[in-house]
Chains A and B, each alone.
Chain A
Amino acid sequence: MHFKKMLQTKPEASAFLMLMAMTFVFSLLSPTFLTLGNFQIVLQPIPEIALVAIGVTILMISGEFDLSVGSVFALSPMVMVLLMAAGFPLPVSMIGGLVVAALVGLANAFITIRLGIPSFIATLGMLFMARSMTVVISDGFPPPFPRDLDLWWIVGKVDLLRVSVFWLLGIGILLGIWLRKFDFGSWIFATGGSQESARNMGINVNLVKTTTFMLCSMLAGFAGMIQVFRIKAIVPSMGTGYELTAIAATVIGGAALAGGVGSVIGAVIGALLLAFIENIIILTRVDANWFRFAVGAIIVIAVTINKMTRDVAARAKYKEVEDD
């Protein structure tokens, strides 16, 4: 019964179980899957997509969506690289990029909260505007990324891992504590659970949502910077489609589309699951034309199993209450 209670109370629990199950199955499908070398490759982009997914998760917990994260993923580092090309030092350039990301988040919040436009639509518009801005500010031809920068502190290699994994861990732990142990975190859950009730409780719902919109954008911008540091190049198309990957990771990780439910660790597990799925499809040499079908099918299966396990746990809890 304790196990079923855990499935009910921890939204990421079923995703974690699925991650374990898939790791086991995938290791049987390919002897390469569980090797250190493979994990080294698979984990490289995880901090990038997981940071985006964490931002989307926290925003989703507060009851809103952000479809512009993929574009901010490109816009923010583009601002940074252009500032660097203009002679600004790296820290100043990074702050410049993050400020732009925060402003995008603020604009999303303004359109959603003040103008009453659903965030799905508001951020869809921002998706196009931010992508366009990325091209416009670079005139279509971004400057080459300086390869001689010392970037060990953010993407350097520590044995098999990149330092960016530790950034993900640090940010994830801090945000996880913020969500679970601080009042503001509770307000985020309350706002997403029932906006009206939260307002009646005296929670500044608008402040909560504005904060989560801005945080979501800044995490996307920072994640984009990490990718640019890692691959040492910037192209205006980077991050295209990441909004859907991030939402998929978020949902697989146990967040509810309706808001009020979700966790930071769930987003990271969701990102890991998606990366594992893509990895096993490559390792098992799925035909090129079937690749996307396979990815899509496994995502649907993953989310379905996730939902089924939670439903089973919920029924068990209901029965337990009835018996009492």
Chain B
Amino acid sequence: MKKTILKICSAAAFIVGLGATNAFSADDLKFTVLTQTGIDNTFWQTIKRGMDDACEDYQVDCQMLFTSENGNLQMHLQNLETTIGQDVDGIATVIVDDNLYDEAIARAAEKGIPLITINVDDTEGADGNSRLAFIGQDLFQAGYEVAKGLLVGMDKSQPQHVLLGLARPGESWAEDRIGGARLYLDEAIADGWNLTHETIDSANDISVTGQRICQYILGNRKTTAVVGSAFWFAGAGECLRDMGVKPGEIHMGGFDLVPILLDEMKLGYVDLTIDQQPYLQGYLPIQQLYFINKFGLSAFDVNTGKALIRPEDVGSVEKYSAMGVR
């Protein structure tokens, strides 16, 4: 009932809001993009580049708000509330907790500020709060696809043990991806695979994650595959080589395109990654917010990708990764 009321308020306020924002020329439009990560997250710099390009293309005033450190949800919420208080013309933000942001998003709707979620959405999707649309990856599905893609290169007749690296326990984006991978592995077990899996807190630092994965593999020699919830797992390549692990002996897969991950793919230690095209997650919300304000068009969901990138694809994506757009 509460959600229904919120949605009605959202729709009504949005219509009222449109009336108010129609008076602006495109040059006056102010959009804010918010995330719960720090400025040092390379992945989010690609989203920022997409945002910057869109803002230049559409001649709107944009600002991206990071938090002082990764995963500071309270600061992210505070930034969101401050932004709503500034009466901006549009907001794009991540929703990494199902309940934390509901009131703030409802307030944005009441004030007629169109709000689109990007990168990470409420796990209940559109039912979770009154946001207008989601632009990003279906995280659970993406995790499912990574596990599925890894098992393609493995032998069903042999015992397999998969390590699932949860980069930030408790944050929905990581839990969703690992949850999707776990589901596929459970389905594989039901399908007759002689397979076990285990989840560890793998951290979100290339060096620390690499160490934890290698230490785990050393203590659990039956490990045959690793699923990372982001790109940090690629840090394991160096210590796997130190351990004498040959390319292809342990299958690794995860997310995003960063130079170290592409390097490890070329060296044969990473089998696949999923590119969620972060540039689009920065560009498209600005485009949509612009059209909402200028023409009263509706926001719409965009799945920015679950494309598997394998070593044979590295050559074609590497130059775009270096440009900071993939």
Contact = CB atoms under 8 A, between A and B. Distances in A.
Given A230-B207, A235-B258, A285-B220, 13 more contacts: A41-B214, A41-B242, A44-B211, A44-B239, A44-B242, A139-B324, A141-B42, A235-B42, A237-B40, A237-B41, A238-B206, A282-B212, A291-B201
Contacts of A232: 238, 260, 263
B127 interface: no
Given A144-B259, A232-B263, A282 B42 contact: no
Interface in B1-55: 38-42, 45-46, 48-49
A128 B66 CA distance: 12
B159 interface: no
A233 B40 CA distance: 14
Contacts of B207: 45, 48, 227, 230-231, 238
A285 B198 contact: yes
A74 interface: yes
Interface residues of A, number: 46
A235 B260 contact: yes
B39 A236 contact: yes
A146 B49 CA distance: 25
A237 B48 contact: no
A181 interface: no
A284 B207 CA distance: 21
* Chain B interface mostly: helix
A30 B219 contact: yes
Contacts of A145: 259
Interface string A261-301: 00000000000000000110011010111011000000000
A126 to B, nearest CB: 13
Interface in A197-241: 227, 230-233, 235-238, 240-241
A132 interface: yes
B189 interface: no
Given A131-B40, A289-B169, A41 B218 contact: yes
Interface stretch (A7-15, A32-40, A57-65, A98-106): A32-40
Contacts of A142: 42
Contacts of A289: 169-170, 201
B114 interface: no
B64 to A, nearest CB: 11
Contacts of B211: 41-42, 44-45, 278
11 contacts: A42-B215, A74-B40, A135-B39, A141-B45, A141-B324, A157-B242, A235-B40, A235-B42, A235-B260, A237-B41, A278-B212
Given A41-B243, A282-B219, A288-B169, A240 B38 contact: yes
Interface of A: 30, 32, 35, 37-38, 40-42, 44-45, 48, 74, 128, 131-132, 134-135, 139-142, 144-145, 147, 157, 227, 230-233, 235-238, 240-241, 278-279, 282-283, 285, 287-289, 291-292
B238 A230 contact: yes
A292 B40 contact: no
Contacts of B166: 288
A282 B242 CA distance: 19
Nearest to B166: A288
Interface string B179-205: 000000000000000000011110011
Closest 9 CB pairs of A and B: A140-B45, A233-B260, A291-B201, A236-B40, A237-B40, A283-B219, A141-B324, A288-B201, A32-B219
Interface in B196-244: 198-201, 204-208, 210-212, 214-216, 218-220, 235, 238-239, 242-243
A37 B40 contact: no
B322 interface: yes
B69 interface: yes
A35 B219 CA distance: 10
Contacts, number: 130
B284 to A, nearest CB: 19
Nearest to A283: B219
A283 B214 CA distance: 10
B82 interface: no
B68 interface: yes
Contact of B38 (A139, A237, A278): A237
Nearest to B264: A233
B303 interface: no
Contacts of A278: 211-212, 215
Given A128-B68, A231-B235, A240 B205 contact: yes
Given A128-B68, A238-B207, A282-B215, A292 B201 contact: yes
Contacts of B141: none
A28 to B, nearest CB: 14
A282 B198 CA distance: 11
A144 B238 contact: no
Contacts of A291: 169, 200-201
Contacts of A237: 38, 40-42, 70, 204-205
